[in-house]
Amino acid sequence: MPELPEVETVRKGLQQFMEGQSIGKVEVFTSKLRWKLPESFEKNLSNQTITTIARRGKYLILEVSNGHCLIVHLGMTGSFAIFSTNGFPKYDNSRKDKHDHVVFHLGNGTVIAYNDPRKFGMMDLIPESKLSIYPPLKTLGVEPLGNGFDEKYLKYHLDRRSSPVKNFLLDQKVIAGIGNIYASEALWRAGISPRRKANRISQKKAGLLVTAIRDVLNDAIKSGGSTLRNYRSVAGNLGYFQHQFRVYDQEGEPCSNENCDGQINRIVQTGRSTFYCPSCQK
């Protein structure tokens, strides 16, 4: 389920527990997620210190002391959970879920389990020197919260697409990190119909869309951050938190734009649900 804000929240959580720590043992219970784990996955990670935890689009990049980078993508159902450290349950056979595929035992006793029922997630291990040529990463477009994303960039790429703007927003090669939920949410905020052809969006609307994307992602990261402060006392599951979506999954509800008396519709675009208000999104 994770889009950029969820992945960023997971990154911060992992950072708190893993950065600067050593990895002791790595247990692999399922060697094939989206793809097979590389040979010597465990060997190259065990007894290494985790130096940095970064994010690029929806990918996590964990660098360890021998120069390898652990690349993680959560797919649609991937998550990490924290165990065996103060405030969290001990990780043992009674705790192990059947979809726990990879478990990291840190030197300080903390256990971090990767769980993924649908196995659409991925993990890979590459040398730091190969990061810039690693295919899944090198094809990614700009970070929507970074400096490279502005009205000029967006308009340039919008003008080169005749597909509906909703589909355009899901293209990771243009903007990295937007998924099906935040595409709908951002278009609602910008007052743009998801069905509008990308190349028929005005300069002014493109500017509004940049702001809408930034705001919706930042707001979601903020609400994830507040969950992050609480999760110590609840459970150790990182990255899943309830948002109040304005259009996503709100079919039939009144539009929450106060100047609008419309109703949220659900349509299907290239096989995926899109939610929008036909009255105020043009």
Partner DNA sequence: ACATGAGCCTGTGGGC
Partner DNA sequence: TGCCCACAGGCTCATG
Q: Is 3 a catalytic residue?
A: yes
Marked catalytic residue, from 6, 11, 55, 58: 58
In 45-199, DSSP assigns E strands to: 50-56, 59-64, 68-73, 79-83, 100-106, 111-115, 122-127
Closest among 10, 27, 109, 24 to 61, alpha carbons compared:
10
**Of 24, 117, 207, 262, the one binding DNA by CB under 7 A:** 117
* Contact flag: residue 273 with DNA (CB under 7 A): yes
**Of 9, 110, 115, 180, the one binding DNA by CB under 7 A:** 180
**Of 13, 141, 144, 179, the one binding DNA by CB under 7 A:** 179
* Contact flag: residue 136 with DNA (CB under 7 A): yes
**Angle between helical axes of 203-230 and 180-190 (0-180°, round to 10):** 130
Least distance to DNA, CB of residue 10, Å:
12
User: Contact, 91 vs 103, CB < 8 A?
Assistant: yes
Least distance to DNA, CB of residue 68, Å:
20
* Contact flag: residue 170 with DNA (CB under 7 A): yes
**Distance, CA of 51 to CA of 63 (rounded, Å):** 6
What's the DSSP call for residue 75? T
User: Contact, 125 vs 71, CB < 8 A?
Assistant: yes
Which positions from 231 to 270 touch DNA by CB under 7 A, shown as an x/- string?
---------x-----------------------------x
* Contact flag: residue 57 with DNA (CB under 7 A): yes
Nearer to DNA, 98 or 229 (CB): 98
What radius of gyration do the chain's Cα atoms show?
Answer: 20
**Distance, CA of 270 to CA of 37 (rounded, Å):** 30
* Contact flag: residue 163 with DNA (CB under 7 A): yes
* Contact flag: residue 98 with DNA (CB under 7 A): yes
Q: Is 42 a catalytic residue?
A: no
- Cβ-in-10-Å burial (0-12, 13-18, 19+) of 266 comes to middle
* Contact flag: residue 13 with DNA (CB under 7 A): no
User: Contact, 198 vs 168, CB < 8 A?
Assistant: yes
| Chain positions contacting DNA, by CB under 7 A | 1-3, 6, 32, 34, 57-58, 73, 75-76, 98-99, 117-120, 135-136, 139, 160-163, 167, 170, 172, 179-181, 240, 270-273
Residues recognised as catalytic:
2-3, 58, 272
